[in-house]
Amino acid sequence: MLKDQGLWPVAGVDEVGRGCLAGPVVAAAVILPYDISSKGITDSKKLTSIQREKMAYIIKSVALAISIAQVEPKRIDEINILQASLEAMKHAVEGLSIKPKAILVDGNQQLSVSIPQKAITKGDSRSCSIAAASIVAKIYRDNIMINYARKYPCYLFDKHKGYGTRKHRQLLEKFGPCPIHRKSFKGVVQNEKAFNPKG
CATH number (domain holding residue 102): 3.30.420.10
Does 82 lie in the same domain as 119? Answer: yes
pLDDT at 126: 86
Domain residues for the domain of 80 are 3-149
Among 45-49, 156-160, 173-177, name the one with the lowest average pLDDT: 45-49
Domain tally for the chain?
A: 2
The answer on 39 and 91 residing in a single domain is yes
Same domain, 68 and 134: yes
What pTM was computed for the model? 0.90
Please state whether the peptide bond connecting residue 100 to the residue before it is cis, i.e. omega within 30 degrees of 0.
no
Are 71 and 139 members of one domain? yes
Q: Is the domain of 176 the same as that of 107?
A: no
pLDDT score, position 60: 92
65 and 157 share one domain = no
* Predicted local confidence at residue 80, as pLDDT: 97
169 & 105 share domain: no
Say whether both 94 and 135 belong to one domain: yes
In this prediction, residue 41 has a pLDDT band, given cuts at 50, 70 and 90, of confident
Q: Are residues 28 and 104 in the same domain?
A: yes
- pLDDT, tens digit (0-9, with 9 covering 90-100), for 80-133: 999 999 999 999 999 999 999 999 999 999 999 999 999 999 888 888 999 999
Q: Do 85 and 160 share a domain, yes or no?
A: no
Among residues 197, 143, 194, the alpha carbon closest in space to that of 171 is found at 197
Domain contains 195: no
Residues 182 and 108 in one domain: no
For residue 197, is it within any domain? Answer: no
What is the pLDDT, as a whole number, of residue 181? 96
